[in-house]
Structure 1
Amino acid sequence: MSLWTETRGYGPELVLLHGWGLSSEIWGEFADRLSERYRVTLIDLPGLGRSVPAGDMSLHAVVQSLLEVAPEQAHWVGWSLGGQLALAVAEHAPERVKSLSLVASNPCFVARDDWPCAMAPEVFGAFVDSLADNEAKTLQRFAALQTRGSDSARDELKRLKSVIVNTAPEALAAALMLLESDLRKGLAGIRCPVQLILGAEDQLVPVSLAANVSRLNQHLDVWVLERGAHLPFISHADQVLQALNSLTGNTEGVNAAG
């Protein structure tokens, strides 16, 4: 599969992976700020944004496509679905991942009997069905859920609506099914520095996830941002940058306030 990429900035290599139904344009100003300290590679996920749809949208195939366009070694930052995919990359090719930042991302997005801190299966199933019936309405509903509870909900919703992709429903559906992946084993076994950044008001990735992931990996560094929802890199950009710079060790000249 052919993936669209863009590289900007100078410094340590860093990869940014966006979430479902969007493109790398969602990173906006946050990517610009990162490029002042990192050499940033933005990637549009398969079938989303400027990347063409792929026939094989299995998790393994998507991971392989990401590795083909990513730097040989890099710090990886994944938001939402992008976090799951970055985690899958780290599990499959640990030598390629120097550190891993999971932003509003759940290693097991859909709840299981032993993993209640996730989206209920019936809610996820309703999204799948709704997408088949009315793509535009489903994307708008998904956008509204992502911003609910945030102090900057209006700005976040405006940003989401400007970036929501216009693509074939079958490509959106295939990407949506990647959210069913269970990557808890990968998180438990990861050896590189890893952090999880959560919004306390997130309606898609509940803050109760913090305690559960800490039991999976006691070395995981968890940040919980009060009054943040599903887009903390917009609502709490300074804090997310601080967390990321701390993880990567790229802290020279960083203002610790925030």
Structure 2
Amino acid sequence: MSLWRETRGSGPDLVLLHGWGLSSGIWGAFAERLTAHYRVTLIDLPGLGRSAPAGDMSLMAVVDALLDRAPEAAHWLGWSLGGQLALAVAERAPERVRSLSLIAANPCFVARDDWPCAMVPEVYDAFVASLDGNETRTLQRFTALQTRGSTTARDELKRLKSVLAAAEPQALAPALRLLESDLRPALAGLNIPLQLILGAADQLVPVELATRAEGVNSRLVVHILEQSAHLPFVSHSEDVLIMLNALISEVDSVDAAR
């Protein structure tokens, strides 16, 4: 599996992973701001953006491909599906993840009997089924859900539509299936600095996740941004930058003192 990668800027290594149906282009100006302080590595997920579709789209195969393209030791930032994958990376190779920041990500995206703070299985299954011959309509519905309730919904929708065009239709369903992974055990076992940033108005990752996630790992620091939906790094970019910088600075300071 060969994944497209681009590295920009200088400073501590920081890997950015995007969400479903999109590419690294979704980070836009947010990534550019990060390059002033970090050596940013952008990776497109299989079949999305500039990465070719992969025959094996199992979670572990994708994780191994990400590790092949990532720096030896880096801070990781994952949004939505990218957050789940970053969580899986941290579980598989904790020595390569200096800190983990999750944005609008759920360790168990599809609801279970013991995890109601997630997408209802019937809604998720409907998304999967609608991809068969209706990719455009499905993506349009998905983008609408991501922006609903945000104070910057119009700007977010414009950004999403400009990046969606890069998605390979044949890669959408296998990538969506990755969201079925239950990574709560991965979150529970992590012993690295980590944080979760949620939008209070998010229609895909409910804010009720906060308490549940904290119960899985007491090291997890949760931030909730009011009037933000599924793209806090667009609607509240300054707040997200402050949170990210604070976590990374704390880790780097501890490392420097050793």
Bin of the TM-score, shorter chain as denominator length: over 0.9
Q: Indicate the percent of aligned positions where both proteins have the same amino acid.
A: 71
Asked if the contact 1:3/1:46 (under 8 Å) is kept, the reply is yes
Asked if the contact 2:50/2:166 (under 8 Å) is kept, the reply is no
* TM-score normalised by the chain length of structure 2: 0.96
| Cα-Cα RMSD | 1.2
User: C-alpha distance in 2, partners of 1:51/1:124?
Assistant: 25
- Structure 1, residues 50-89: CA drift from partner, whole Å, max 9, x if none? 0000000000000000000000000000000000000000
Q: CA deviation at 1:219?
A: 1.1
User: C-alpha distance in 1, partners of 2:169/2:163?
Assistant: 16
Shift >2 Å, 4+ stretches: 165-170
Match of 2:205 in 1: 205
Gaps of 5+ in 1: 253-258
- Structure 1, residues 3-36: CA drift from partner, whole Å, max 9, x if none? 0000000100000000000000000000000100
Match of 2:154 in 1: 154
- Structure 1, residues 208-251: CA drift from partner, whole Å, max 9, x if none? 00000000011111000000000000000000000001111179
User: C-alpha distance in 1, partners of 2:58/2:132?
Assistant: 19
Corresponding residue pairs, total: 252
Match of 1:255 in 2: none
Pair 57,40 (structure 1): closer, same or farther in 2 beyond 3 Å: same
Match of 2:45 in 1: 45
Match of 1:244 in 2: 244
Asked if the contact 1:18/1:24 (under 8 Å) is kept, the reply is yes
Report 1:80-91 matches (<5 A).
80-91=80-91
The residue type paired with residue 34 of structure 1 is L
3-state secondary structure, aligned to 1:124: helix
Match of 1:192 in 2: 192
User: C-alpha distance in 2, partners of 1:63/1:78?
Assistant: 13
3-state secondary structure, aligned to 2:131: helix
User: C-alpha distance in 2, partners of 1:103/1:123?
Assistant: 22
User: C-alpha distance in 1, partners of 2:251/2:106?
Assistant: 27
* TM-score normalised by the chain length of structure 1: 0.96
3-state secondary structure, aligned to 1:219: coil
Bigger mean CA deviation after superposition, 159-168 or 85-94: 159-168
The residue type paired with residue 205 of structure 2 is V
3-state secondary structure, aligned to 1:132: coil
Report 1:62-211 matches (<5 A).
62-211=62-211
The residue type paired with residue 104 of structure 1 is A
- Structure 1, residues 155-176: CA drift from partner, whole Å, max 9, x if none? 0000000000444433110000
